[in-house]
Amino acid sequence: MGTLTQDVTRLCEEIAALRESREALVDDLAQANRDAKGRVSEMLAEFHRAHGDMALRTRGEQVRFVSNLAAEVSGMLKGFHERHRAMAARTRKDNVSFVTDMATEVSLLLTGFQQARAETAGRIKRENQGFVANNGKEVSRLLNGCHDARIRMGKSSKSERKRFISDLERSVKGMRKEVAQDLAGARQAWNGLSPEVRKAGQEAERKANAEVERKAKAEADAKAKAEAERKAKAEAELEAKAATEREKQDQSKKKTKTETKAE
């Protein structure tokens, strides 16, 4: 037998052996599948029984839990209602007591405030009356002082004006006397001169007399103006002081009226 024949014979035998092995494997797989189906069916049946038992047990437990929870909640609500009623009664009692105490305290405060207000009003009224009386006396004293000062100043100004006029008259008389003597001397000195020179001298004498009189008059006017300004200033100061005192008195009267109205 040749080598090829041996090889082909061995190959055929191996193919036949492999076919038998494959058939055996397929049979084993089919048996394993049938066994697995049986086990799965039993397992599913067991799962269904366990699930039913668990559902029954869970439903019972849930019913008991809900029943216990309802009883517990009912007890809690009952306790809450009882405590709420007790707290409401206690709060109502405390509120009534607080309102009563507050009303008493407010009444005492109002009474004390009215008493203090009456005492303050009386004291302020007395102080205002004293202030008005003192202010009236002070204003009267100031007005009398202003009047006396004005009279004294008037008398002093009158005497000063008289002295000023007397001094001015004496000064003017002296100046006129000096000018007359000077003119007489000049006239005697110029009597022997020509008519033209005499006329010029007379004109110069006239101008000199006019200048002297003008200066004397200007000096007298300046002194009179200064005296008038001093007198006007003094009178203005007196008027200002009197106006200030009247304004203070009016303000005091207004303040007294305002405080009286406020009371």
Amino acid code (one letter) for 156 = S
| CA–CA gap between residue 165 and residue 159 (Å, rounded) | 10
What is the pLDDT at residue 176? Answer: 75
| CA–CA gap between residue 226 and residue 234 (Å, rounded) | 12
Model confidence pLDDT, tens digit, residues 138-148:
777 777 777 77
Model confidence pLDDT, tens digit, residues 6-45:
777 778 888 888 888 888 888 888 888 888 888 888 888 8
Residue 95 has pLDDT above 80, yes or no: yes
**Alpha helices by DSSP H, the chain:** 3-190, 195-262
pLDDT-based confidence at residue 2 (cuts at 50, 70, 90):
low
DSSP classification of residue 191: T
What is the pLDDT at residue 24? Answer: 85
At 223, list the tokens: 């002194």
Mean pLDDT, all residues of the chain: 79
For 104-143, b where at least 16 C-beta lie within 10 A, e where not — what string? eeeeeeeeeeeeeeeeeeeeeeeebeeeeeebeeeeeebe
Instruction: Of 129-133, 181-185, 252-256, give the range with the top mean pLDDT.
Output: 129-133
Model confidence pLDDT, tens digit, residues 206-249:
777 777 777 777 777 777 777 778 777 777 777 777 777 777 77
What is the pLDDT at residue 234? Answer: 74
Direct distance between the N- and C-terminal alpha carbons of the chain, in angstroms, rounded to an integer? 157
| CA–CA gap between residue 248 and residue 242 (Å, rounded) | 10
Amino acid code (one letter) for 11 = L
Residue 87 has pLDDT above 60, yes or no: yes
| CA–CA gap between residue 229 and residue 234 (Å, rounded) | 9
| CA–CA gap between residue 3 and residue 178 (Å, rounded) | 199
At 113, list the tokens: 């405030």
| CA–CA gap between residue 220 and residue 175 (Å, rounded) | 13
Residue ranges of domains in the chain: 138-262
At 127, list the tokens: 């102080």
